[in-house]
Structure 1
Amino acid sequence: MEAFSDIATAAYCPRQLYYRRQHADHEVPEPAAERRALAFRYGELLDPAHDLRGEPVDATPTQFRARLSAAKERLDAWGALVDPAGREVLLEGKDARGIAHKVLDGEVAGTDPPTVSVVSAGEPPERGVWEPDSVRAVAAAKALAWERETAVDHAFVEYPAHGVIRHISLGTRRTAAYRHALRVARSMDGPPPRLENDDRCEPCEYRAECGTRTRTLRSLLGGD
């Protein structure tokens, strides 16, 4: 059975997953954990009396509160996201297991059936969610559906350091991306091909070991 985090990493970069497994790296870095923890403090963070300058947010206080306030007005599930029925819940499905950061009761969330929310420490795209976050949300939703014996057709992805919450439908395209990442994670028995000159390589902690080379501007222009 694959871990949610492994399936999400396979969607991001299969080679990164290979090195993660080689090093048995499963701990969430402290800065990322601090940013994720913001998702459980929305009420406090929206309070104008609370000083956001010491918080790990990646927006001005005005931007941050404006985004959260917009989510509060837009989402019927706001109350359930602020006070979820389950926090950091271990779910075990037919194919995958892992932590759902929030499990939302369907009646409280204003939606039926219940669903999940996954929390990202990163920056959101302009629209929608990144594919690894989508894949993780599908994995968690499917595991919840397996445990509760009910269909789960939507989920949430939160980017709390930016005050952004996205509601996503778990349709055919997202499910197909999840199943592809699941197959990659299951079948990996050696290092996948390297990526070349990819933006994902620059921040990767395994870059030196992986040996991926990023091309210089001169080479991209045909100078060498």
Structure 2
Amino acid sequence: MIAFSDLARAAYCPRQLYYARRDDDRGVPGEARARIDLAFRYPSLVDAPDATLRRLPIRRSPAAYRRNLSRLRERGDYDRLADPERERVFRSGRECHGRVHKVLAGETDVDPPVPSVVSPGEPPTNGVWEPQAVRAVAVAKAVAWEREREVPRALVEYPSVGAVRDVRLTTRKKAAYRGALRAARAIDGPPARVDDDRCSACEYRERCGTKRRSVRSLLG
């Protein structure tokens, strides 16, 4: 069994996962937890005053954050996002397991549930970062295994920005999931180093020995 978080690390950089496993360093930092918690407070934050929002770990100005949450409220699944069927539940699939931040009920009684991954980071301009897409596929597969039915899509929430992105389980995304799964299972020593934009955002960059380049958070 591979943890959802390990799978996302493997998609980001297998060498990072090696260090995290070696050092037993797979907890969620306090600031990241505080940002994740924002995903469970949308109704109370959409009209919150500037003073309240400035005390929170949001990544936008108070005015911009309220605008983003107002747009979020226009989504057809907003009520289910704000009041999901399940919150922070452990789910175990055939290959992966871990905590699912939210499970939204289907739009109708016959529709499949929609699991959600909550990220403390910044979203890309379009879509989601690949490690988060891989984690979303893993979460969807675990929920599908538990419910014994197909779950064709998941969500990735970026609550410190006020954005939600849809992730369809396409052939390409499922292939990326399988690649990350193979990489996570194959680690029995330090994988080969990489040297690209990922390195500057990695907490292991100093001990890994890679060169530092522009800061860019892909893992979130």
TM-score (norm 1): 0.90
Secondary structure of 2:134's counterpart equals helix
Give the distance between the partners of 2:139 and 2:62, measured in 1 at CA.
31
- Aligned counterparts, 1:83-162, within 5 A: 83-107=83-107, 112-162=111-161
**C-alpha displacement of 1:72:** 1.5
**Which residue among 200, 203, 206 is the counterpart of 2:201?**
203
**C-alpha displacement of 1:203:** 2.9
Match of 2:218 in 1: none
- Aligned counterparts, 1:144-183, within 5 A: 144-183=143-182
Q: Judge conservation of contact 1:6–1:185 (CA < 8 Å) in 2.
A: yes
Secondary structure of 1:106's counterpart equals coil
Give the distance between the partners of 1:115 and 1:90, measured in 2 at CA.
15
**Identity, % of aligned positions:** 54
Q: Judge conservation of contact 2:199–2:213 (CA < 8 Å) in 1.
A: no
Give the distance between the partners of 2:39 and 2:88, measured in 1 at CA.
12
Match of 1:219 in 2: none
- Uncovered stretches (5+) of structure 2, i.e. residues with no partner: 215-220
**C-alpha displacement of 1:67:** 1.3
Give the distance between the partners of 2:127 and 2:47, measured in 1 at CA.
27
Runs of 4+ in 1 over 6 A off after TM superposition: none
The residue identity in structure 2 corresponding to 1:185 is A
Q: Judge conservation of contact 2:197–2:213 (CA < 8 Å) in 1.
A: no
**C-alpha displacement of 1:32:** 0.3
Match of 2:40 in 1: 40
TM-superposition CA deviations, 1:197-218 (whole Å, max 9, x none): x2221232211221112379xx
Secondary structure of 1:134's counterpart equals helix
Q: Judge conservation of contact 2:200–2:213 (CA < 8 Å) in 1.
A: no
TM-superposition CA deviations, 1:54-80 (whole Å, max 9, x none): 11101011211111211211x211111
TM-superposition CA deviations, 1:10-53 (whole Å, max 9, x none): 00111100000000112100000000100000001102447211
- Uncovered stretches (5+) of structure 1, i.e. residues with no partner: 217-224
Residues 1:125 and 1:111: Cα distance change in structure 2 (over 3 Å): farther
Q: Judge conservation of contact 1:77–1:111 (CA < 8 Å) in 2.
A: no
Secondary structure of 2:98's counterpart equals strand
Give the distance between the partners of 1:59 and 1:214, measured in 2 at CA.
27
User: Is 1:82 matched with 2:76?
Assistant: no
Larger radius of gyration: 1
Residues 1:215 and 1:122: Cα distance change in structure 2 (over 3 Å): closer
Number of matched residues? 213
User: Is 1:69 matched with 2:81?
Assistant: no
Secondary structure of 2:128's counterpart equals coil
**C-alpha displacement of 1:107:** 3.8
The residue identity in structure 1 corresponding to 2:169 is L
